[in-house]
Amino acid sequence: MQRSFPGYAFRKFSGGFTLIELVCVIAILGIMAASAAPKFVALQTDARVARLMALKGALKSADTMITAKALVQGSSLDGDSYAGGGYFEYNGVKYSKKYGHIDRNNMGYFIEGTPPGLIDGNKIAKSRTGNVNGYQFDCRNFKGVCAYDWCDCWANNTKIKEFPNNNNVVMGDSGQKSGDAAKAAQYFIPRGMEPSKFETDKCLVVYQQPVLLNDKKTIYPSKVGIVSDGC
């Protein structure tokens, strides 16, 4: 039996949030986002550093592999290609060498995801230093961001203290200096970063070729490292 109450009408109410409830939810979401943002940034940095570490290993492997292959072929490991010391030959192409290792300006040919460079009519790999086949390998003259997995380039007199290229540089912890004019390093910069800003961005891998120290006898070995302060 349905009972009725005189003077009252039953109305159906629809559920919803009040303005205060919505404001509280938005405030909570804001707090959560603010606390999560630093962790997200840290994850991005960790991912970039992990990429640098992976490439560092690839550079070392490439250098070791090419040097070992040259030894098997009976290639001389003395001197450098630019001083008449011959080339490494790999798959029918001649690559510049420096005291038994890959010259820094040819290392990019052995790393996947870098711009192609150029092999000339004599099957010699061109130096990845300036403009080669329409691509700029000079860091400071590079326009825009790197569109490859890695963009390798060169810049003399860099201000990156870990890998200086200027004259009479002290190499590592040896305390010995080098007057070698070709002691330069090649910089490998990840996709999306601007190679021209490598000195300030500081997120890159460096391959430094061997150099002849001032005693004219001691060869300081090749060096691979990362600079990750700006990652």
Residue ranges of domains in the chain: 21-58+102-227
> What average pLDDT does the segment 11-30 reach?
68
Closest CA to 196 of 148, 231, 162, 145: 145
Predicted confidence (pLDDT) per residue in 27-75, tens digit: 777 777 666 556 555 678 888 899 999 999 999 998 888 888 777 776 6
| Chain mean position to CA 206 | 7
Lowest mean pLDDT among 113-117, 136-140, 156-160, 176-180: 176-180
As a whole number, the mean pLDDT across the chain is 79
Question: Kind and range of the H or E element at 206?
Answer: strand 204-208
Beta strands at 219-220 and 185-190: parallel, antiparallel or unpaired: unpaired
Q: What is the pLDDT of residue 17?
A: 64
209, 184 Cβ separation under 8 angstroms: yes
User: Tokens standing for 54?
Assistant: 């992976």
pLDDT at 161 over 80: no
| Cα dihedral 62/63/65/66 (nearest 10) | 110
Lowest mean pLDDT among 88-92, 196-200, 218-222: 218-222
Q: What is the pLDDT of residue 179?
A: 58
Q: What is the pLDDT of residue 165?
A: 57
Predicted confidence (pLDDT) per residue in 70-99, tens digit: 777 766 666 778 777 778 888 899 998 888
What are the phi and psi torsion angles at 49 (to 5°)?
A: -65, -40
> What average pLDDT does the segment 11-39 reach?
67
Predicted confidence (pLDDT) per residue in 105-136, tens digit: 999 999 999 999 999 999 999 999 999 989 99
What are the phi and psi torsion angles at 93 (to 5°)?
A: -115, 140
116, 135 Cβ separation under 8 angstroms: yes
Tell me the C-alpha distance between 177 and 168, whole Å: 6
Tell me the C-alpha distance between 219 and 210, whole Å: 6
